[in-house]
Structure 1
Amino acid sequence: MRLLVVEDDPDLNRQLVTALSDAGYAVDHAFDGEEGHFLGDTEPYDAVVLDIGLPKMDGLSVLEQWRRDARNMPVLILTARERWSDKVAGMDAGADDYVAKPFHMEEVLARIRALLRRSAGHASNEIECGPVRLDTKSSRVTADGQPIKLTSHEYRVFAYLMLHRDRVVSRTELIEHLYEQDFDRDSNTVEVFIGRLRKKLPGNLIKTVRGLGYRLSDRADEA
């Protein structure tokens, strides 16, 4: 899953990027509204953490422009605790949730997990496909209760397919949602990760849809 952090405070920006990266996400970041708006308008993010008080272009203007341009990724806004009006304005502008500063990083992580789940149509932290279960809170993958060890990139591929189970996901979509903007992307690596996952997961859960991509499904009648 690929995220964008737009925060002008260098220390807080770094802390957010580090925490989200450690949680297994691919994270891009920006320090002002203009750069943040450009990235959010041109890159396919799964969610955005957006500060309200930004230089060059304030966060509300960034968000309103995204929504006018039909950019529908979930957005978590960061607001000052005493400015309740910012929270109202942010939600009215199209935000999906907010966190008031100062905040605990665990709260941001929990709210991001919730936004990602809801945007993919899941209500619970635990997602199942046949005998395999993904716990998005702990990043734990099990099959029939037994843990499956995945590398960070294998986990990203699997988690994205799991969140979008029963839907065809193209190689291009996987690449766009798995790597940071400046990462040297190679479509062949996706095929390598898919091959590794097939060896680690029981059954034939990851189906190849020729010419289109991959589908994670426990339906036995699919190729």
Structure 2
Amino acid sequence: MGEWSKKSSRLLETKLISRGDDKEIVVATANGLGELLKLVIAERALDYPYGIDDRITMAINRARAAGREFGKRFDELKYPALRTLRSLGDSIFDASIYESYDYVDYSDSQNTRNIIAECSEVLQSMARAAESFDGKFVRREIGSGFGYIETNLADTRVTVKLHPSSLKKIGVDRLADQVVRELSNAQSEARRIRLQSLQDFALWWRRQAPASFDMKG
């Protein structure tokens, strides 16, 4: 990693961005990488026991989204080409693009048409995998029956659900600490699953590629 990359990483890791729910009963703090660092639940949250999980969810998602947006804009400021690459990336993972192509009409050898069709199938598989990450979740329990926190495999959405009595049983500070800890655990599990999925896909591709990319004829 170059010196500038190290400095950029440190800056994003130490950039603190806080966001709260609509009443700021709960305030979450994330860094420029979108990592949740701290959660503060005000004592007056005890007056809203039936809605505190929604407030925690809102604060966490707002803070993480703001942190990631800061990191994205920061990267694009230093590397303008990233904006174009990200735009292309969004297109690559739109499965409908590849389904609309008619490869049969491609005027070249049958082998070339087979290669193009195989590439299309691979890209569709990648697109479907990326889409599936958004709709699959990892869940972690909070305390002993206090509730749970979950994040999707894409790590873009967090949901917290708590039993109404949780606040009074464990207190606002302890609850906040447990939410942060269990979210970190859920994110680690989500990363492990994503990596395993990519490894499985790479293994499948390596097995398929030799037959598909035989350039003879």
Same fold (TM over 0.5): no
Structure with larger Rg: 2
Scaled by the length of structure 1, what TM-score is found? 0.26
Structure number with higher strand proportion: 1
